[in-house]
Structure 1
Amino acid sequence: MRAAPRVVVLAGGVGGGRFVLGMREALRRRDAAVNTEQLTVVVNTGDDLWLSGVRLQPDVDSVMYALAGVNDVNRGWGRQGESERVASELREWGATWPWFTLGDLDLGAHLARTGWLRDGLTVTEVVARLASRWALGASLLPMTDAEVDTVVEVDTGTGRREMHFQEWWTRYRATLRPLAFRNPGMESAGLPSGVAEAIAAADVVVVAPSNPVVSIGPILAVPGMREAIASSHAAVVGVSPIIGGKVVRGMGDVCLDAIGVATSAAAVAEHYRSRRHGGVLDCWILAEEDAHLASAVESAGIAAVVHPLWMTDVTATAAIAEVALRSAGR
């Protein structure tokens, strides 16, 4: 492997943004001149939605803002120095979800995105335009150019109902029991320009510690994605989003329970499966708190590596990313 290998990260959400920051730092420590050809982030777009007439891409924006250094680390989403005057006015008009806040700076990105989409640009082209505003040190690619917004079927207590993932996640805080997650239109979606090429050219593919069901799940569900990973010469290394039997952030345990997967580092590794057995993983990095599960991971045909996984700052996260790069050699 070169001093600065070519890396593709599959990521979504705030955790994905944090991990990508650490990966960029790890690559820069190997080669200060690392460029966007050496780090590609394939981002989940299952969270996308139309709201108040504009197209939102929460995971794309979370990763982009994190790499640009303009994300609000205190709230965990959106831009620094945000205001909410437009959101307040939209609520007065009854033209938005009252429980879903659009920051004014963030809304500027949504308006630009929507205008370019209506002009006929693909999602890939729009993401590239948005990302070109900052020197991100990485290339961002959506998992697909198709609209495959995540729909959740829930048990309301009096019956079943379908709703957009963002309503279930943000309004109800995942308190309504999910029965199924679906991405309508996924069967006719496909890989956008650049994704298969990046995976084919990669030395390492990393599955970030993002939600396995609603962040990584949609990425792997895009027709052609698993085939691209299976045929790549790159080692595929996953980083556990579970530490000590608990999710690090959000309500990922509720999502895992809905698909019959235990909230366990070993169970998530087995859910992704070994690449030798038709899955996607060659190696799995577990937290020190889960070291006792390493043998179960190895029994599933996946190399296990134990390392501290708390992403407390860029330094700690870069150390995790470096372990992922070194583990690829296994």
Structure 2
Amino acid sequence: MIQAGYRGGTVIALCGGIGGAKLALGLARVVPAEKLTVIVNTGDDFRHFGLAVCPDIDTVVYTLAGRANPQTGWGRAGESWRFMEAVGELGGETWFALGDTDLATCAVRTARLADGARLTTVTADIARALGVGCAVLPASDDAVRTVVETADGDLAFQTYFVGCRCAPAIRGLRFDGAATARVSPEVAAAFAAPDLEAIVLCPSNPYLSIDPILAIPGLRALIAARRAPLVAVSPIVGGTALKGPLAKLMAELGLAVTPATVLAHYGDLVDVFVLDTADADQAGDAPRLRVAPSVMVTLDDRIALARSVLAFARGGRP
């Protein structure tokens, strides 16, 4: 249910999977559906069992639909696993688990793409079917694939993240296809909205979830030419990452695991950078830094952070 009293303009949120989806849900409870667009990383996408799997898109859609698995943050609540059990019985690959209802999403997506539909259109239709009101857009309809350069060689993202459990030491990252990927008309239209009030970088992994989006030249150009303030939420709290391999990645790349490192990475794109209260001592008098509770355990936490982010975008404090 949308919180009453919203008087603002449109909002764009850029995010990856679990962490970003939490803030996206908070925004969806504050911002009317017709005024919110969530642009999602597609660098994690891959083919598995011949199916088009879009982990971050599905996590965001399931979260906004109230159907995400509350224990894992990914996949669907009340999932069954007959398909994977049968795959294992037949000697197939079981390293990447697709639940039965998640499998249905991937199967429908694959069939629609094979018939010539754009990923943007398919994503919108799936989101609508599951009851999501706001726009959920892939960063591009063109393939952008994250490749992790490790001491063990170059690995596709899911091989690194799930297959290898993030164990190999990272030496670098690249985003195959990003340089020639195009911005969809829907993404361009979101940035062209006359009442665009804020662009939000959710607390997703900057290197693995946000960078594949920013690596698309046309999309980065839209952000650079924005008329609205960009607010980024630090994914580092108290010297570590709350979820995923971010802290390990930063350490292996020789980077200090601090909010300041993330802010420096985003550079001049960011107008306001939100630190958690655990890192309030790092704010000082820096004009771009703000402090708010950013650890999102409950739905109320997500809504409160969304309200803080929008207040900061408007130049105030909550």
TM-score bucket of the superposed structures, by smaller chain: over 0.9
Aligned residue for 1:13? 17
User: For 1:119-130, what aligned pairs fall within 5 Å after superposition?
Assistant: 119-130=115-126
The structural deviation recorded for 1:260 is 4.2
Residue 216 of structure 1: CA displacement?
Answer: 0.5
Q: Give how far 1:26 is off.
A: 2.3
C-alpha spacing 1:111/1:250, structure 2 compared with 1 (3 Å): same
How is 1:100-179 mapped onto 2 (pairs within 5 angstroms)? 100-156=96-152, 161-179=153-171
- Between the aligned partners of 2:250 and 2:132, the Cα distance in structure 1 is 32
CA deviations over 1:64-100 (Å, ceiling 9, x no partner): 000101110112210111111111222333443x221
Q: Give the Cα separation in 2 of the matches to 1:124 and 1:260.
A: 37
DSSP 3-state at the match of 2:199:
strand
Q: CA RMSD in A?
A: 1.5
Q: For the residues of structure 1 that align with 2:173 and 2:209, how far apart are their CA atoms?
A: 11
Greater shift after overlay, 78-87 or 193-202?
193-202
1:324 to 301, 309, 312: 309
Q: Is the 8 A contact 2:45 2:145 kept in 1?
A: yes
Contact residue 42 and residue 140 of structure 2 kept, 8 A: yes
Match of 2:71 in 1: 74
Structure 1 unaligned residues grouped into runs of 5+: 28-33, 275-279
TM-score when normalising by structure 2: 0.93
- Code of the residue aligned with 2:283 in structure 1: it is A
Q: What TM-score comes out, normalization by structure 1 length?
A: 0.90
In structure 1, C-alpha distance between the alignment counterparts of 2:252 and 2:184, rounded to whole Å: 29
How has the CA–CA distance of structure 1 residues 219 and 260 changed in structure 2, closer, same or farther, with 3 Å as cutoff? farther
Which of 196, 202, 219 is the equivalent residue of 2:213? Answer: 219
Residue 40 in 1 paired to residue 40 in 2? Answer: no
Overall identity of the aligned pairs, in %: 38
- Asked if the contact 2:37–2:136 (Cα under 8 Å) also holds between the matched residues in 1, the reply is yes
Q: 1:261 aligns with which of 255, 259, 263?
A: 255
Distance 2:51 2:130 in 1: 22
Match of 1:191 among 177, 183, 186: 183
**Equivalent residue for 1:30?**
none
Match of 1:290 in 2: 279
Equivalent residue letter for 1:265: P
Query: Deviation per CA, 1:24-64, whole angstroms, max 9, x where unpaired?
Result: 1222xxxxxx23x2010000000000010101000000000
Alignment counterpart, residue 312 of structure 1, candidates 297, 300, 312: 297
Tell me, which stretches of 5 or more residues in structure 2 are unaligned?
Answer: 1-5
Cα distance in 2 between the residues matched to 1:260 and 1:121: 42
Does 1:207 pair with 2:201?
Answer: yes
Query: Are 1:236 and 2:230 an aligned pair?
Result: yes
SS in 2 for 1:194: helix
Match of 1:277 in 2: none
Aligned length: 308
